[in-house]
Amino acid sequence: MRATPPCLLFITCLVLSSSLSHSYSFSFSNYQTILSLSHSLISRVVTRRASRGDVDGAERARALAYNLERGLGLGFYKFAWNVGWDYIKHYAWRDALSFEALGGVLSDLNVLLEAVCEFNRIQSEVERVAWVGQYYTKALRVSRSLFTRLLKVFRQPGVLREVVVTLQKEVVEGDLLRDCLELGADDLKGLIQIFKDIALLYYSASPKTDL
């Protein structure tokens, strides 16, 4: 008998939760927040790119926004099942998750979060332009490092790796980081913080923790 989406979500939640230390709580609200914030941010990127005549860039961003929108509302059940099944299949039942790489992911996220917070504190448009000119190259370099490490974590083909590859390409080649900084630094800060919390949750549950 085919399980209903809520049942699939419940099973996925149980399996993912069992892979973590019992002292930590696992909340799907974090993932719903990621989808909501990301959709809002990428939708603004679509409008911005279209207004400056970047047709190809706007189409890529529109495709991202469409996929994110499918994960909102009831579509979240399907999203949770796809991601959960990918995790179960490739990472949950064996020593496949690279906790060493996760340590590097946390380090990069800390640096990136600090940069975004610094940018977000600047109120003057002139000073923001100056900040981008001085520090954006470093932020982009850290982002590249972050995605390289994430590909080491999610090295098996599946939904999780596909998401990382898509975002990596858009950040490295499409200047997505700059768009998100200038359009919604506060939302970007929130997204990075949630990703950091999730990475820390898994890293803290690993056999070896050096943080």
Q: Are 156 and 91 in contact (CB under 8 A)?
A: yes
Quote the Cα angle for 87-78-15, to 5°. Answer: 35
What is the SS3 string spanning 101-117? HHHHHHHHHHHHHHHHH
Residue 73 backbone zone (phi > 0: left; psi -120 to 50: alpha; other: beta): left
The answer to whether residue 19 is domain-embedded is yes
The answer to whether residue 50 is domain-embedded is yes
The candidate with the shortest Cα–Cα distance to 48, out of 187, 186, 182, 169, is: 182
The answer to whether residue 120 is domain-embedded is yes
**Number of residues written out for the chain:** 211
The answer to whether residue 97 is domain-embedded is yes
What is the structure's pLDDT at 155?
A: 84
The answer to whether residue 173 is domain-embedded is yes
Q: Are 207 and 95 in contact (CB under 8 A)?
A: no
| Range name among 105-109, 157-161, 166-170 with the lowest pLDDT average | 157-161
pLDDT digits (tens, 9 = 90+) for 13-42: 444 444 444 334 445 667 778 888 899 999
The rounded distance, in Å, linking the Cα atoms of 188 and 18 is 30
Using pLDDT thresholds of 50, 70 and 90, give the confidence band for residue 130. Answer: very high
Number of domains in the chain: 1
The answer to whether residue 210 is domain-embedded is no
pTM above 0.85, yes or no: no
CB atoms within 10 A of CB 122: 15
pLDDT, average across residues 157-172: 88
pLDDT, average across residues 43-49: 95
Phi then psi for residue 13, to 5 deg, are -60, -40
Instruction: Give me the domain span that covers residue 174.
Output: 5-204
The answer to whether residue 96 is domain-embedded is yes
